[in-house]
A and B are shown apart, each in its own frame.
Chain A
Amino acid sequence: MVEPMLKIAPEYEKVTDNKNPKMTAKDVSVFYGDNHAVKNISLDLHRDEVTSLIGPSGCGKSTFLRCLNRMNDTITDCRIEGSITLDGEDIYDPKIDVVQLRARVGMVFQKPNPFPKSIYDNIAYGPRIHGLATARADLDEIVTKSLEKAGLWQEVKDRLDAPGTALSGGQQQRLCIARAIAVNPEVILMDEPCSALDPIATAKVENLIDELKGRYAIAIVTHSMQQAARISQKTAFFHMGDLIEHGDTTQIFTAPKEERTRDYITGRFG
């Protein structure tokens, strides 16, 4: 048997498995009417990996993120070209059930948006409508597990009937993450999930993202360079609809290849 030239540590091998991305975007363009908002973006998302999308406002990063679970479908005049696949399956195929897709590709928004329901029902709602559980005991288990995975169980276990909106901002955001997890997603998209949170709540959400990365492919849009550097393994820098640079986060933050990336992350953009 021929020995491989370079042996890679197993945990690193897992992270850099480029052969089987969870999601693949190929030559994706998004138009709002005549406005070419996202230009020919090709990007893979992998399980076991957090990808940060960074760039100045209006660069197309959130628009691109929203393409990944067809959140742009509802916008009139929005047209998408190119292909996006989940496990090799085209998510824009007319046969795709969009509700099912959004269960597989969950989303967490900038502002925590719990349903005006109890903490319990916030989590149980998704599994119920997706038919993941009907018996109370099964639902209980999903609620418990989801809150545990979101690191919220200890804080809310004695008040599951309290309204989700009664929680603090950071807790609400973790509740939303728990809600996304409850329907067994494969990908979690986060659009500035910490921008409305204080540093302590931010740290808790970041810690949660770090723990979740082993189970899901995660893409996060953030305006915080430091957050991108802290929590992601891959970073993609967008500028005026173009993907300027995409690579290993440490590489991007120590020696970016592109001048525009350098200018942006070092605060030199005029």
Chain B
Amino acid sequence: MSDHTLSAYDDELNELRSIVSRMGGLAGDQLLGSMQALKERDSEEAQRLREADKELDRLEALAEQTAIGVFARRAPVADDLREVVSALKMTTLIERMGDYAKNIAKRTLAISESHPVVLPQTLETMAETAHRMIQDVMDAYAHRSADAAMDVWESDEVLDNMHNAAYRQILARMMETPDYINVYTHYLMIAKNLERIGDQATNVAEQIYYTITGVVLEEARPKGDTTSTEAVGQ
């Protein structure tokens, strides 16, 4: 896209884009870090990750200030308007991803004090998938690719299906070993956190698609998560 006649306008939009990208990168790191800490029952690292989440909060506030400044000074329209509005929404979504990663770290603190219980493999696979979704969606943002954003949007069903599988698997283990129900409950919540990170990545993809094309994706996305509606163990 060609530059604005006012180069300071481009600088401000680039600053906003840079904040969004930094937040995406950080959220991915937070997720990887929290899953690593969980696997290694590393409460020190988990605590550090909880603290590190504050950087995402700070960047979200910075993005908000920058966006408000653009609105006030530039009265953006067309692509620029969509860019700024979407950036505002995306930073909120990414900050939420960070919150889910932080929640995993917080649960790690509790889990590491409990009796060691094997981490279900499906959680690790879910985390890898969620992390890839973050990476892919931030790549789509960096390359301004509506097609790549659409791919992420469509891929969320995979994570939803994994969540269904994880949910059943963890529930089955709870029934087999009720002594560890406390840890398994944490695992269940972590699975939900990972599924929600995928949802946020999907919402980010919607924003990117809208920014690039001007078209709002309708709520027709295939939803695969059935855990909140099905009765298990009957």
Residue numbers of A with Cβ under 8 A of B are 225-226, 229, 252-256, 261-263, 265-270
In terms of DSSP, what is the predominant structure of the interface of chain B? loop
Contact call A267/B9, Cβ cutoff below 8 A? yes
Contact call B4/A253, Cβ cutoff below 8 A? no
Q: Which residue of A is nearest B10, CB measured?
A: A268
Known A-B contacts A226-B75, A255-B214; A268 and B2 likewise in contact (beta carbons under 8 Å)? yes
Contact call B9/A253, Cβ cutoff below 8 A? no
Q: Which residue of A is nearest B6, CB measured?
A: A267
Known A-B contacts A254-B214, A255-B214; A265 and B4 likewise in contact (beta carbons under 8 Å)? no
Interface flags for B6-25 (1: CB within 8 Å of A; 0: not) read: 10010000000000000000
Q: Which residue of B is nearest A269, CB measured?
A: B5
Residue numbers of B with Cβ under 8 A of A are 1-6, 9, 75-82, 213-215
A225 to B75, CA, bound (A): 10
List the A side residues contacting B4 at CB < 8 Å. Answer: 266-268
Known A-B contacts A229-B77, A254-B81; A267 and B214 likewise in contact (beta carbons under 8 Å)? no
Q: How far is the CB of A249 from chain B (nearest CB, A)?
A: 11
Contact call B77/A268, Cβ cutoff below 8 A? no
Contact call B214/A266, Cβ cutoff below 8 A? no
Checking A226, A265, A269, A270 against B78 with a beta-carbon cut-off of 8 angstroms, the contacting residue is A265
Contact call B77/A253, Cβ cutoff below 8 A? yes
Contact call B77/A266, Cβ cutoff below 8 A? yes
Q: How far is the CB of A88 from chain B (nearest CB, A)?
A: 36
Contact call B78/A253, Cβ cutoff below 8 A? yes
Kindly list 20 other residue pairs between chains A and B, CB separation below 8 angstroms, not including A225-B77, A254-B82. Answer: A226-B75, A229-B77, A253-B77, A253-B81, A254-B81, A255-B82, A255-B214, A256-B78, A262-B78, A262-B79, A263-B2, A265-B78, A266-B77, A267-B4, A267-B6, A268-B2, A268-B4, A268-B5, A270-B2, A270-B5
List the A side residues contacting B75 at CB < 8 Å. Answer: 225-226
A173 to B3, CA, bound (A): 37
List the A side residues contacting B215 at CB < 8 Å. Answer: 255
List the B side residues contacting A253 at CB < 8 Å. Answer: 77-78, 81
* Residue among A254, A256, A269 with most chain B CB within 10 A: A254
A265 to B5, CA, bound (A): 11
List the B side residues contacting A263 at CB < 8 Å. Answer: 2
Q: Which residue of A is nearest B2, CB measured?
A: A268
List the A side residues contacting B6 at CB < 8 Å. Answer: 267
A-B contact pairs, 14 of them (CB 8 A): A225-B77, A226-B75, A253-B78, A254-B77, A255-B82, A256-B78, A262-B79, A266-B77, A266-B78, A268-B1, A268-B2, A268-B4, A268-B5, A270-B2
